[in-house]
Amino acid sequence: MKFAVIVFPGSNCDIDMFHAIQDELGEEVEYVPHTADSLEGFDGILLPGGFSYGDYLRTGAIARFSAIMPEVVKAADAGVPVLGVCNGFQVLLEAGLLPGAMRKNRDLAFICKQTQLKVENNTTMFTSCYEKGELITLPIAHGEGNYYCDEETLAQLQANHQIAFSYHADNPNGSLENIAGIVNENGNVLGMMPHPERAVDRLLGSEDGLKLFQSIVRNWRESYVVTT
């Protein structure tokens, strides 16, 4: 499986994402600059964390207009798995690939720490290697991770089982209903604030994030076998 790591001006987790895919997952991966105009040949798209365009206007608001984003949207519409982590999640929200918006953390402070999550839905292509209700530990590092949506959107997320991860016991940023990660209705786009790519080896304090990437590969291979 071949992954693309999209690099925006201000991305700072692109190397972490590259390492997770190449060295821990053992799959092919390439950096793709924000100026590129094609994602042909890639089987998975990864939008890393950081501070794209300095977080001017709103987090992800300028990155959403990068030359590569129409191709990300095109890939998502075609069913290609798209993962946005932290700033990548914010970009996906701004691009309309996921519903809702991000607000500043409840305490108006940047948070950087390990946090415990609960796997709410293990039937997505990103979570199938987890058990439903499994508790996992991933790091967070953000100043605007307070997820919000209106009541109608929340009801849809709940009814369609689109909430993939929630904060367990401690809600660090005030996110609505403890939401830490959501998928789109088709289940092939995941946005999450915690960093799975920083939790792929015990030396990093947790390897719970590796199952997320293993889930993507397993589901891609199963789909590839079926379609070929």
30 is catalytic: no
168 noted as active-site residue? no
When the candidates are 3.40.50.970, 1.10.10.2840, 3.40.50.880, 3.30.2350.10, the CATH number that belongs to 2-227 is 3.40.50.880
Domain regions of the chain by residue span: 2-227
Q: What is the pLDDT of residues 16-61, one digit of tens each?
A: 999 999 999 999 999 999 999 999 999 999 999 999 999 998 999 9
Catalytic residue among 86, 94, 144, 168: 86
Contacts of 160 (CB under 8 A, 6+ apart): 185
Q: What is the band of 119 on the pLDDT scale with cuts at 50, 70, 90?
A: very high
Give pLDDT tens digits for 186-215: 999 999 999 999 999 999 899 999 999 999
For the chain, give the mean pLDDT.
Answer: 96
* 161 is a catalytic site residue: no
Active-site residue among 34, 142, 168, 195?
A: 195
Residues 71, 120, 144, 197: which is the catalytic one? Answer: 197
Q: Mean pLDDT, to the nearest integer, of 90-114?
A: 98
- Tokens 């919000």, residue located: 148
Residue type, 51: F
Q: What is the mean pLDDT of residues 119-147?
A: 98
Average confidence (pLDDT) over 67-89: 98
pLDDT band at 223 (very low <50, low <70, confident <90, very high): confident
Cβ atoms of 207 and 27 within 8 Å: the answer is no
